Amino acid sequence: MNPADFAVLFLLNLAGVITPGPDVVLITRLATRSRKHAAAASLGISLGALMWITLTVLGAAAVWTAFPRVLVLLQVIGGAWIVFMGVAMVRQGMRDRGQPPADLQDAVDRLGSVRAAFFTGLATNLSNPKIVLFLAALIAPLLPPSPSLGTALLVIVALWLPALLIFLLISVVVSTKRVRRKLLGAGPSIDIGAGAFFIAAGSGLVIRGVTG
């Protein structure tokens, strides 16, 4: 892979990472309450992304093309799970409206464990197979048909590491105490808005999977 193709691949992937989607929405929602929970979700999301990126670079896109029903099944199951998480967020927001957090620590406590945040991030990313289609369209025209191990590893790291750093940056910037104090009262509305986004995104995946 020549340097120009590598630069195009890097920049296009960067644009995809910063485009708002379930991953970014989840991290932002958690960061308005807890830096640790947002960072844990970022690590979970990044682990899922690493799996998708590795599979795509190693040729899994050909499997999706040969067996499109597998991708359809992933879309339906993943979309349904994202809808489920969205409903849970909306319900949490509605509960918090009736009994809002007393302070910042109360808001953190209501998120559950940091471990749970990690697995929520992982599940969110793995439930969105749309990343496979994006990566396949991104990588196929630029990556050699049979890349060397060194080239494959370089591409995997170049696509994965910036995403991890951006997610952690969002976690840090949004979770400053000043920002969290300002957004404490808006927490229930943020949960409801994030939940509505998840429901819409998940429903879109299910509909595309069912309709083909």
Can you list the alpha helix ranges (DSSP code H) found in the chain? 3-18, 22-31, 35-57, 60-66, 68-98, 104-109, 114-126, 130-139, 149-174, 177-183, 187-211
3-state SS assignment for residue 34: coil
Contact (CB, 8 A) for 82 and 127: yes
The pLDDT tens digits of the residues spanning 133-155 come to: 777 777 766 676 677 888 888 88
For residue 80, which of 36, 114, 129, 19 has the smallest C-alpha distance? 129
Between 212 and 49, residue with greater pLDDT: 49
Q: Give the predicted TM-score (pTM) of the model.
A: 0.84
Contact (CB, 8 A) for 79 and 204: yes
pLDDT at 101: 85
